[in-house]
A and B are shown apart, each in its own frame.
Chain A
Amino acid sequence: MKVMLLANEAPQDFALRDNKEKFDGYMGEWYAFGDSLTKEGIFLDGAALEPPASATVVSVRDGKRKVEDGPFPDAKEQLGGFFIIEAPNIDAAAQWAAKCPAAKKGFVDVRPVMEIEGEE
């Protein structure tokens, strides 16, 4: 099964991205995690996201488009990136999620990717 790991980072982790001294160490953990997935041959896709403050929220109601600044509070865990991996089951996926750097202070959402016949 394909599984998406949604890395929800804690505010203090997001803060490290702006910390000149700690930035390399912070990113290093992510690179190491990504490399371990690749080495295992289960990495399918992944990306880091700009912090929540960069978010713009778009919705359409009654045919009217609304574009707003993302109302994401700084005090909570927010989506900071994702990985899509190949895993035999939830237990295996959860083991990888536990190794994700976001799991230590934030949390990782483990979501099976919906499979639709005819798609690869």
Chain B
Amino acid sequence: MSGAWAIAEQTARESYGRLLAWLSARTGDVAAAEDALADAFRAALEHWPEKGAPKSPEAWIITTARRKLIDHARKQKTRSDAHSAVLLAAEEAESEANSESQFPDERLKLMLICAHPAIEPSVRTPLILQTVLGLDAARIASAFLISPKAMSARLVRAKRKIKEANIPFTAPSLDVLPERLSAVLDAIYAAFGTGWNDFDGAEDSAGGLTLEAIFLAKLLTTLSPDEAEAWGLLSLMLHAEARRNARRDDGAYVSLKDQDTRAWDKTLIAKAEEALAKAWRLDKPGRFQIEAAIQSAHAASRLQDRDVTEDVILLYQRLIELAPTLGAQTGFAAALSNGGRDEDALTLLDGINDHAVSSYQPYWAVRAHILGTLNRNEEARGAYERAIGLASDISVRAFLHHKKKAL
């Protein structure tokens, strides 16, 4: 009994994304495929405990879901084309599913569809999390700080768009593929958190779905192994994840230079380095690879006691050429300050022309530090107050308070 349940659960956990991608690719309708898959799993939980789990659980689920899709198509009165298309696809599905338990992995196509330019950018990440990983709307909503109802509505709208606009489940042409893959990478990085910061007193990754994001990046490197930026993103996130435990001591914020490196996960660091090496070998530099290289330099500075100040400055320079984001410019300023070039750092910060600055917490934390170093204490206090006001993490606030007092 419990064995059948366990098998159903395992099939769902390991194969959900592949099953959904495969069904969606054959119908062009993600929502209908989701419903059919859910019905099939429900049926499995009814039948398997009684009759025992089938030899190939995936094939059983696919066949059952296919029948559900046919039922669904028959009830659909408005779309004659879709009707016959689904029937045809379903027939094909049956023969493929029966002949072998292995079926082609369409998850890359599914991810590319979720990050299609016709899909609103802010819903791409939630869509990937739901379709590829099977996360429910409530879980995704909590990570993105919006209500489950609103998240649910946005996901439904996006899936409707896929079907009605007829977004194709075919591999995009080579000229648009890089752009589309880059949208997928952005969506995965957004799942990781609000961005990873290596400078003191800067908040990061609050409430992110870090393990899910790492899983997706790993998946992408498997499905598209020649994509250097996928390896770069994986490396960046692994470096960040490796230091997670060392970033807090009894709940208190610990800056990078004071972290206990014994608490760093060396296995993850090794994997991060391996991923970065793979990326470099492909000889297609990009922002995620540079960001990973910055984290790699930081790791080396502590583990091998190397002075990486100038390396980090050069890497940030390169990063800004590739992607002049607010985070990159703030990081560059922090790196310059670290190299004793506080005047240059302040000029850089003053020159940022982006209204997002006013609510960007890391900017104010870095600005406060630089002003403090330049002995402009009054202004530094103001900047610290602003950074504290914008910080939502209590330990980051305490850290900044402490620095403000020490001025």
Contacts and interface: CB of A to CB of B under 8 A. Distances in A.
A89 B81 contact: no
A89 B170 CA distance: 10
B165 A116 contact: no
Contacts of A117: 77-80, 83
Interface residues of B, number: 15
B111 to A, nearest CB: 16
Contacts of A89: 166-168, 170
Interface string A10-27: 000000000000000000
B79 to A, nearest CB: 6
Contacts of B79: 115, 117
B78 A116 contact: yes
Given A90-B118, A91-B172, A115 B80 contact: yes
Interface in A73-120: 88-92, 94, 110, 112, 114-118
Given A90-B118, A117-B77, A117-B80, A112 B168 contact: no
A25 B118 CA distance: 32
B166 A112 contact: yes
A117 B81 CA distance: 9
B164 interface: yes
Nearest to B169: A89
A90 B172 CA distance: 12
Interface in B129-164: 164
A4 to B, nearest CB: 12
Nearest to A87: B166
A91 B167 contact: yes
A118 B78 CA distance: 9
A76 B237 CA distance: 44
A112 B80 contact: no
Interface of B: 77-81, 83, 116, 118, 164-168, 170, 172
The 9 closest A-B pairs by CB, nearest first: A89-B168, A90-B165, A89-B166, A117-B80, A90-B167, A1-B166, A90-B166, A115-B79, A91-B168
Interface of A: 1, 88-92, 94, 110, 112, 114-118
5 contacts: A88-B166, A89-B168, A90-B166, A110-B165, A112-B165
